[in-house]
Chains A and B, each alone.
Chain A
């Protein structure tokens, strides 16, 4: 038998009740706050992990904000470029229309005036802003107006920089496109070379041409074709021949080639055709493609349309047709460049959307893990609370009974 001292009975009962009260309080706090971990000491590993996951979750949410920002800017550029595409198509239609043989010089001047309006409109679109005064197509210099008219035509005053935005933990997406890439760096001609007539008097119209097989050694040299028309014998047609000269190296490639309208002309890896009847002394040149801005293309068209055509004896509308052809080719090139940019923007928007789905799922997972780590399991906690309550009541009631027992009560 163990002797129990009276103070032990009191002390141990009080301690037991205190401990039970402390547990009850802890459970009640958990229920009241909804958190299983009240301080890190409750579950240090889970608490530390919860902090890390909270950060991951918050970062993931931030990427959503970033994606929205990127989507916003890309969409703005996309709609600006949509406007540009429509505009260039209008210009193209007008240019095709201007080739109508029945039009007079004054008819063409009206078209030129329309194109001038289009050019201003295009300038406005190229100088689009994001609504907060930041230019969309000026590269890194978002407060610098990228395009403005100078004596030498419309110039680009931005740079080639693209802004990237962090759209996921490991991925950045370009939200902007440089105006240089969209409006300026457009190769003229067929992308390899440009065919142009000289100050001709004949009716020769030259095609855009293409690279022949085998392809030329790059870079291309400059070439010149000069026509010689020898009057034929009476009753027979005139004999037209042409010489080909490499003007870069000043070497004659071939001479006295027989000319047939529409027949392919091919040398040094380039190939094109000339239709119509070149006059004696007419020349055509072949030069490597260079970059031509969409503004210059339209300005050139306007200039051509404003130039009166010479009388039929001096070639008539042949130069106009040649210039319109070249302009149409360049407009197509510009459309190509813009639609390439638009395609890239579409891909970026798609990517943002798919990252959004992934990010949402990731966020859901983070929240589930967090909840698992931190949140109280109500069923468990309530059952614990009930149990602890019962224990405490039992301790209190039994203490009240036991502490009443004393021999002194009977003395």
Chain B
């Protein structure tokens, strides 16, 4: 019996020691990420049967388990990956938001300066200083476009680094998880039903960290290992095998990197849509859904402004009396071959109407017979038929022979618009403030009719000038309009007019020849002559400058729905709205994560008060067991003291 007392007391002391050790382990790891508190499992030893009944044999430590809830842990993973996604996206897009919102950094201020200066030229067309001011403001506008584009490009470059870091992290985590799988499997097999709690916690923590980079699905295997899947079911970790991700050049757009999955020596490019959640998902979404569209939108604005001003300037006459030329360099569309193309065709694209451009990129596809164009912003498909060139959304696409079914081509009409805009002249005289022709009433006219100074028609003209394609070859030829008797009709003479006679006169109606339009109003007298001629010495003419200045408020962009300033404010508004949305949703998601983690921690987390109480409890249990040992000892001593 006495030995029984010793045994029971020792098991009690043992159990208390286990308890104290586990409690101390819990206390030590109270702030270790991913740690689940542990608990000593106790069970009574099987009682010994005596004649008088079953006598207890003390306590048995059956194991140490971690307090863990699979459902809550999975929930934390899910919410965490979404939170990482939203936070990363928000942090990234906030850069653009800050960039565009800065009043002195946006292009609105410089565009306003440009058009103000254009008004200045319209007010004083012969003044070289006012023209110089205009060129200065034009240069400032160009600089602002370029610097904004540069900053967006810097963000894109930084993003490539972040994507690369994220991919590295994922690969490292995958290897570590696979390594832990090996250990866990071995310990589980050799542990006779006991689990390596801390290794499991470590693996959970790694999965959690992996999950912050990319959304994963985890399957627990019966041998203790965990299989981790990403994307649309690609295994990243199976048992002790870790697969990896790799950055590759995009097959459709060589300027971009895609993520490829490497398994067994084979590389498969992953669809961006399957790479969701986590930092990596956020970086890719941000790049494709916010950064590139913002850069395209800025490019579209730069192209729109530069091209519109160029075209109008070409319709005018500069201070030297020459026909106007381009003031700005404009960017050509970017065209890229699909990496998997088997044909030899080359695609070219040219912008035909800036007013119809969108900020989207396009993909041209060839199915062997027909071409189709996919607008990538909304995946709208337009069938272009079997022959090119065709015009769509303001640009014309053409192809050389040699396309093979399945070939694709990427077209980015506006991508480099802001990067490549430049001022082509430093000569203030080159601003075409005047019109190349002027209409005038002869000094001898006796009637009350007057003639408007005239405007140059928008292209295309009937006989384009080969040296100056936007204007008519005969634009500056002298033309006379002579009223007949009675003055209800007139004759026209001059090169290019065809010399029509007896043209009926309607006051105020347009009279158009040789690429210009004038109006005669009022009552002419018979014999009255109106002359249209080259605007020689017309340095005080501001007709074209007025048209140039008026472009600021004209809806020249987005199919005639917005002016330049509105296009920029739309960009700012769009980026702002997305940032705002992400701000709100990421905060909400962070709160959800806090709550989910709190729920998970409510089960698995260490409460120090609880551990302190456990410490006291196990201390007391140890002391009590020791007391029992002491009693047993004194009983034994008492027994030995009996002298028979």
Contacts and interface: CB of A to CB of B under 8 A. Distances in A.
A6 B32 CA distance: 12
A172 B549 CA distance: 12
A407 B609 contact: yes
B116 A140 contact: no
A303 interface: no
Interface string B442-466: 0111100001010000000000000
Which of A69, A139, A163 gathers the greatest number of chain B CB atoms within 10 Å? Answer: A163
A404 interface: no
Interface in A1-29: 2-8, 10-12, 15, 19
Interface in B543-562: 543, 546, 549-550, 552-553
A161 B453 contact: yes
A39 B97 contact: yes
Interface stretch (A42-50, A105-113, A381-389): A42-50
B443 A51 contact: no
Interface residues of B, number: 83
Contacts of A41: 94, 97, 101, 575-577, 579-580, 583
B612 A288 contact: no
A142 B125 CA distance: 9
Interface in A164-208: 164-166, 169, 172, 176, 180, 184-185, 187
B91 to A, nearest CB: 12
Nearest to B33: A7
A323 B553 CA distance: 58
A291 to B, nearest CB: 6
A141 B566 CA distance: 37
A135 B126 CA distance: 11
A143 B612 contact: no
A62 B608 contact: no
B594 A15 contact: yes
A172 B565 CA distance: 22
A290 interface: yes
Interface in A64-120: 65-66, 69-70
B608 A407 contact: yes
Interface string B419-448: 000000000000000100011110111100
A62 B115 CA distance: 9
A213 interface: no
A190 B73 CA distance: 106
A160 interface: yes
B123 interface: yes
B467 interface: no
Nearest to B605: A5
Given A52-B569, A58-B112, A140 B541 contact: yes
Interface in B361-418: none
Interface stretch (B142-150, B488-496, B532-540): B532-540
Interface in A129-150: 132, 134-135, 138-144
B342 interface: no
A128 to B, nearest CB: 14
Contacts of B444: 290-291
A40 interface: yes
A165 B565 CA distance: 22
B573 interface: yes
Contacts of A62: 115-116, 119
A406 interface: yes
Contacts of B126: 134, 142-143
A219 B527 contact: yes
Interface in B108-123: 108, 112, 115-116, 119-120, 122-123
Which residue of B31, B439, B440, B613 has the most chain A CB atoms within 10 A of its CB atom? B440
Interface in B46-87: none
5 contacts: A43-B576, A48-B572, A58-B116, A139-B540, A141-B537
Given A40-B575, A41-B97, 12 more contacts: A3-B610, A15-B590, A42-B580, A54-B108, A65-B116, A66-B122, A143-B126, A160-B451, A161-B541, A184-B443, A219-B526, A408-B612
Give 4 nearest A-B pairs by CB, closest first.
A5-B605, A40-B576, A142-B540, A48-B573
